[in-house]
Structures are given as structure tokens and as C-alpha cells.
Structure 1
């Protein structure tokens, strides 16, 4: 939320641009004034009079970004809310303050066009959180509009989720030519920077712990570039220091970074799943990576079931990794899919030789082993996530109808 709330005038009515509250009772007025002072809003942002005063003050096309309207003395609250929503427009946010602590009342307010419903007695904590939540939602929407967010989770340790995340980001940036950001959320033992042979950034932890300070300059100080199009955020924090990663800090970070990068790849350690429901819910794609084991079946099913309660907007891709002659699977593919009650989406073959070369060189698979089977599957997965379509080469065989199409590699439906 912007820390200024300048007054603008239209038709003789001055309004604060960021926030205004129209409230009936003295206690709620005091709470609103305290919150406005804490958020550096204008002293004129809190007004006496409830939703009737809001209707008189706000004109179409000239509304504060957020309005808190008290309906406790309204004779016809439903009609008043409908009129106020129309005046404010869909790009602004209406929060209703009422006295009925009833789920049905909440749903009615939302159906009429309000974004939130608060119940008296109003407190500083409740109002401040409601206002800041509008900002968090705006950042999430902005991220969704300006780029694609992909979250990778290794449901078991050592299944190669970080390797997949790193190489997907490299492919998007270097082969698909898309501005891409890679976030390694394992702040103590992450290996994305090590895999690409780049230094860890000095400001990643600070950015997470101080989301209110995030801006382009701050973010640029935390980013390490690998080439022209790939930005990497990773760190190696002391193992005896706990870093608090909140939903708010991740929302703010992704909202800021998505303004400059078309693709955002997040490598999320599974131990952070309980605290990052909002991140999973806002992702365009969640990739669950597992080995072909009984424990993998259990954990994919558990995570998928948990995600159904988050109203996840995107798709879930199920990927089996580290499968092949170099590494025997614990269960057959048929039994694995039977345990999931559906087919896996992609199978990443084991390629110890290529991965060893990449690890020693500090390079992506596409750089040193671009023609291998594992590289082909990763390219296919990358295109499915980013929406990239490889330009068709014009030549003799593309002009002849009925030509043979290459067999797809890796994608299993």
C-alpha cells in the first residue's frame, strides 16, 4: 500500500486517494484514525457518517482505492452497497463494517460486490490486516497478469526437484528467450547458484525479512544474473539461524519481481509447504516431483489432497524423476500410476553421466548435454509450463503434406 494519501478534488468533494473510512461510532472512528496514522494516510481519511456519507462524498471515476463503509445505521444496506460499488468501480476495493457476526451476512456482502466484511467491535489489528490484505491481493493479481508463476516441490528428498527447477529456468531464459527468475527457497542448503556456478546474492534474506522495503533497487541488489535473461535469488544462510519466511514476504517478492520477468520459477522445499498455502494457490503450475516409490505415491496423494482445500487456480503436474537403468525403481510405472489413480505427466530419465558433467562444470544440462534424452524431456516440460512454441523451420519437408511427425519424448498422458 502506498504510504501517501493525497487529497484530490472533483465536483467540490475532496477524497484521499489510497484509503477512506466512513464510520458511525466513536470507538471505530478512533481505531480507524490510529490505523491511518500508522500507515501514513491523511488525517482526513477517516470521516463520520457511515455509508450514506460515502455515497455523498464519492463520485463515479473519482474514488479512493480502498473504502471502509459502516452500514450499521443504513436503512437499506443492500441498496446502498450496490450504489457505492457502482460509484467506486471494479478497480477499487470496498470493505463493509457491520454488527452482525453471521456467515450468511458475510456472503451477502461479498455477493453485492464488497471485498471484505468486518464485524464490530473493530480493532487496530483487524482493520490494519484488512487494508494490507488488499495490497497483497493486488500484488498476487499483478503477478498473475504480468507473468507465469511455477512452483516445484520435491515430495521426497533427493528426487531431483532442484535440478529440474534450475534447468527449466535456464531453458526458458536461454532457449525460449523469456526473461526468467529462479527463486531457491532453501535458504540454508539451496544448490541452484552452485549448479550454475554463480555467487549467492547478498540481499535475498533481507528482502524476505523486510517486504515493506521492497522496490526495484532493493531487489536488484539481491539478484544474481546468469546471462542476460536469467535472474537467480539464492542464499546460504548460517545453519544455526532461523529465517522466517511468511506468506506476505513471498507475495511481496513475487509481486515485485514479476514486473520485470515473464517467468517466475520457485523451488520450494517440502518443509515449507505448511506455511506457503497462498503461494501454491496463486501458482499457474505446481510441479510435484517424486521418485517411483511407494512413499512417493503416498506423498503426492497427500500434497494433492491438501491443495484441493486451497482453491488452487493452476494445474498440478506430476513428474517421476530418476528412473532408468542407472537407478532401479521401487515399484513399476503401472503400479505407481495405479496408486495415483491417474497417469504421471512426465518421466525424467536418470542420466548420472550427464548430471555429473554438469555438476563439475557448473553448467545447465542444455549447455553440455543438449541432445540427451533428459534434455529433450526437460525442454518439453518447459514449453508446457511457459506456453512456448518453437518456431517452425521453413524447408522442403515442412511444405510436403503427410510428412512423419517426430515421436514425443517424455510426456505421458
Structure 2
């Protein structure tokens, strides 16, 4: 059994032996928890490999229960019965967080009904624990995020790398194939390409809501959105060039909060990283995709922009996409060299299919030509990353595998 610092000898009456106790089923999760307690400088903790039975054995020996208790239900055949036994050795004040591998809404609701404060699905991250446990206030944060949409930002290392093309097609895929309600926010206040690629006109709704952020309500925001079908809605603006920003800093936060209350995903098309809206977008994004091409300039900018995106309090999960915006030519940076220079892997490399994708964009349609299969599969994979669903991609892979073996 691997354990962090904890003196299990009984202390003074009324003193807790530990503030935080966790039993987890695997080494990777254990290491994440150790990183968390070190970052939070929590002196009295106990983290070990084990399950509910190990937690019961330990807690039965202690005079006081911990403030926080995290238990892994991975090896529990009857989790509700096991947690009922655990409750018998816990004080009513202990705040229990369950951990598992099943993204099961029914199980989550049942756990909340029996008193578990939250249920986290692996893989566990330090950021997820920080959002769950409020150490300064000594309580588990209220479960609000499950009823709120996810904010996803797309940005590029330079102009012309295909940010709007990729972001817009991901939004369209989510709306048409996963039955989610999507809000697409084009942060280029002077006229981005999203509207023309969808065949719609802007109503300057983004400028409107940013100027009136102090009197916004859900109905107000809904009226500023331009619909493209029943599940995709666009918020954009087209100010005259030279017009200064007609709103205060930090206005975007209120708009995003209202959008997340009404949409499954809020897709942010971030144009100019020097714009104050870009910083606000990254401050409130849970996921960021940075798009680069195979140029030396783009490689260098990837390093700078990754640092800019990730050097903020919310530390958004950031992935690199390598887009082949031109056909292969001598002098391009090879993908392996790109990853070595940037110091991290590329999530997906998007094949060169510029002609068919451009024609579809000019027609305000989704790419449907057979030559765009590679592009569309990448869009589907990105959508799968966000929803946690990859059925079509996996089936295609195994079909190909069987064909190779036959």
C-alpha cells in the first residue's frame, strides 16, 4: 500500500487524523492525487491503493473522520451497498467523493441521493480535483457544471491556418450529428468568415450584448442569436473598421455564462490573440484547440501561443491540430520535427483537401465530396473528443483491420 504523509496514531481528542483520505485503484490516479495535495500544501493526507473495504478498515481505527474522503468504486460490484457500509464508520460531517470509470447519470443521481457529494469519472486530473474540492472553504463545490454547457475555443498560430473552417465544421457536426444545441461565437468584431461560410447575415448581436452586459437575461441573449437550423446559433458582429470596442473589459464572461446555461457547447472562434476578447475567451474556456500549419513561423508561434493560453488560472486543456493548408512542398516542417520543436504531440493532423473544402465554404455548406473524407473524419474525431463518443471512427478502424487481415 502506497501512502502519503499521515500519522495514523490516535491524536488528541477531537483532532482529525487527516483532512483528506483517498483510496484509488490505480497508480496513475494515485500520482495525480499526490500532485494535487503537494500543490495545495495539505499537510495531513492519506492516499493509498485500495477500495471501499480498505477505507472502512482505516476509518474504523480513527477517532475522527477526515474532512474529505475520496473512494474509487472501480472494483466494487455493489457500490451502493459498499457505500452504505462505509457510512457506518464515517461521521455525518465527512464529505465523500466517489470515483469511477462509468459515465452513468443514473448512478450519479443515486449517489447524490444517499449523500455522496460528487461523482468523478476517470481519468482524474489535478484541475478536476481543484474544481471539486474547495480547500479554502473546507467543502466540496456544488455540482453546477453538469447543468452547464462546455466552452471550447479555437485559435490559430497565424492567419490563414483554417481556424474558422475547422471550428465551424466542428460546431455543425455537433449540431447535426449529436443533437446538441450549439452557440457559435465569432470573436472577430469587424467581420469574421463564419457568417459567409454558413450563408447567413450578422445582426451585430455580439456587439449589442457586450455593450449591454449589465442588463442581460437569457431572453435578451436569445434574441441576438442568428439561427442556422434548429440547433446551431451564431453570435457575431461586423463593426466598421476603425471603430473602437464599444464595451468594457471583462464583458464576455457574463455573456458566456448565460450561453452555457442554454447550450451544450459554446464554440469560440478566436481571431486576434492581441485582442482583449481573446484573453477573456481563454480565461473561461474548458478546452482549447490551437491550429498550426507546417511553416517555421507557425512552429515558433505555437510555442509562444501555447504559453499564452495555458498561463492562466483556469489552465484549459489545450490540444494542437496540424492543418495542411497547402499541398506538400519542399521546405515544409515535417510533423515529427514540428512536435520535437514544440515539445508536445499533435492531437490530429488534417490532410490537404483545400479545393473541395473551399467550394463547400463558398456555398455555405458542409463538405460532402468524397475527397473530403479525411477532413470530415478529423472533424468527427474532434467532436468525439468533446462528447466522449467515438463509435463510427472505431468501427471504421476495425473494418479496415479486418480487411487487411483477409
TM-score of the aligned structures, taking structure 2 as reference length: 0.59
Change in CA separation of 1:242 and 1:332 when aligned onto 2, cut-off 3 Å: same
Question: What's the counterpart of residue 268 of structure 2?
Answer: 266
Residues 281-292 of structure 1 mapped to structure 2, 5 A cutoff: 281-292=283-294
2:312 match: secondary structure: coil
- Counterpart in 1 of 2:150? 148
1:193 is paired with a residue of what secondary structure?
helix
Unaligned segments of structure 2, at least 5 residues:
1-133, 402-406
Corresponding residue for residue 332 of structure 1: 334
Q: Name the Cα RMSD after superposition.
A: 3.3
Instruction: Name which of structure 1's ranges 277-286 and 223-232 shifts more when overlaid on structure 2.
Output: 277-286
2:376 alignment partner in structure 1: 375
Q: Within the alignment, does 1:250 sit opposite 2:274 as a pair?
A: no
Structure 2 residue 111 is matched with structure 1 residue 113: no
What is the rounded CA distance, in whole Å, between the counterparts of 1:177 and 1:377 in structure 2?
19
- With 190-199 and 327-336 compared, the bigger mean Cα shift is at 327-336
User: Paired residue for 2:386?
Assistant: 385
Quote the Cα distance in structure 2 between the aligned partners of 1:324 and 1:342. 23
- 1:257 Cα deviation after fit: 1.1
Contact 1:326 1:351 in 2 (8 A): no
Q: Residues 70-89 of structure 1 correspond to what in structure 2 (within 5 A)?
A: none
Distance 1:270 1:392, change over 3 A: closer
Which residue of 1 is the match for residue 203 of structure 2?
201
Q: Distance in 2 between matches of 1:227 and 1:405?
A: 33
Shift in CA distance, 185/158, structure 1 to aligned 2, threshold 3 Å: same
Instruction: Specify the alignment match of 1:169 in structure 2.
Output: 171
TM superposition score normalised by structure 1: 0.58
Q: Which residue of 2 aligns with 1:300?
A: 302
Q: Residue 195 of structure 2 aligns to a residue in which SS?
A: helix
The runs of 5 or more residues in structure 1 that have no matched partner are: 1-109, 116-137, 408-413
Q: Distance in 2 between matches of 1:363 and 1:219?
A: 26
**Counterpart selection for 1:189 from 173, 188, 191:** 191
What secondary structure sits across from 2:273 in the alignment?
Answer: helix
Structure 1's 388 and 247: CA in aligned 2 closer, same or farther, altered over 3 A?
farther
The 5 A counterparts of 1:307-326 are 307-323=309-325, 325=327
Number of aligned positions between the proteins: 268
Secondary structure of 2:261's counterpart equals coil
